[in-house]
Amino acid sequence: MKTLVIVAHPDLTNSRINRTWMNAFQQQEHVTVHDLYATYPDFKIDVKREQELLMAHDRIVLQFPFYWYSSPALLKLWQDEVLTYGWAYGQSGTRLHGKELMLAFSTGGPSAAYQPTGVNQFKFDQLTTPFQAMANLTGMTFLPPYILSGVRTLSDEALVQATSSLIEQTLLVPTRK
């Protein structure tokens, strides 16, 4: 079982959460960490290389800070350019079939803000439906996401704990086939 962690953070130098997660993933066996913004600072994505990376792994983790209720822009561009018709979807687009997709993201807003009565009004499972739909269309199983909310007030101890939980959930969640 090989896991690909695609990290999409435009400013990892000043990141607290995603940098910690990325460093932790880099120490795991059978995990490839792929820093999207470092690889493509000019936003010129090598589609063939990305498709080969996807093909070489079983579980794909998209790791990012929540930006405007979604992912940072380069990850959206990656979806637009890499998940092509005839490759990822459409009649002959079966290359991702049977793989697993998992989201791991951090949010500034606390979990209470992501309730119908909260400031953001929508729950995480509503806001992540485009990713879920993407998994459906490309024949991937959408695994339960790992969401760390309210990170502005998160203690260092809680971050250490959350990072362990993320690694455990990512690497140990049973394959559903």
Q: Which stretch binds ligand FMN (CB under 6 A): 13-21, 34-42, 129-137, 165-173?
A: 13-21
Among 35, 47, 93, 109, binds ligand FMN (CB under 6 A): 109
CB nearer to ligand FMN: give 8 or 82: 8
In the beta sheet, which residues pair with residue 104?
63, 146
Q: How far is the CB of 168 from ligand FMN (least distance, A)?
A: 19
What size, in residues, is the chain?
177
Q: How far is the CB of 148 from ligand FMN (least distance, A)?
A: 8
Judged by DSSP in three states, 136 sits in helix
Tell me how many residues contact ligand FMN (CB under 6 A). 15
Output the CA torsion sign for 152, 125, 43, 82: positive
Q: How far is the CB of 52 from ligand FMN (least distance, A)?
A: 27
Judged by DSSP in three states, 8 sits in coil
Alpha-carbon span 175 to 177, nearest angstrom: 6
Q: How far is the CB of 19 from ligand FMN (least distance, A)?
A: 6
Question: Residue 122, interface with ligand FMN (CB under 6 A)?
Answer: no
Q: Which residue has the tokens 């806001």?
A: 127
Output the CA torsion sign for 132, 134, 136, 139: negative
CB nearer to ligand FMN: give 104 or 140: 104
Question: Residue 15, interface with ligand FMN (CB under 6 A)?
Answer: yes
| Residue 117 CB contacts under 8 Å (≥ 6 apart), including other chains | none
Q: Which stretch binds ligand FMN (CB under 6 A): 25-33, 100-108, 139-147, 166-174?
A: 100-108
Q: How many CB atoms lie within 10 A of CB 3?
A: 20
Q: How far is the CB of 120 from ligand FMN (least distance, A)?
A: 7
Q: Closest by alpha carbon to 148, among 140, 158, 156, 138?
A: 158
Question: Residue 68, interface with ligand FMN (CB under 6 A)?
Answer: yes
Catalog residues that contact ligand FMN under the rule CB under 6 A. 9, 15-18, 65-69, 106-109, 151
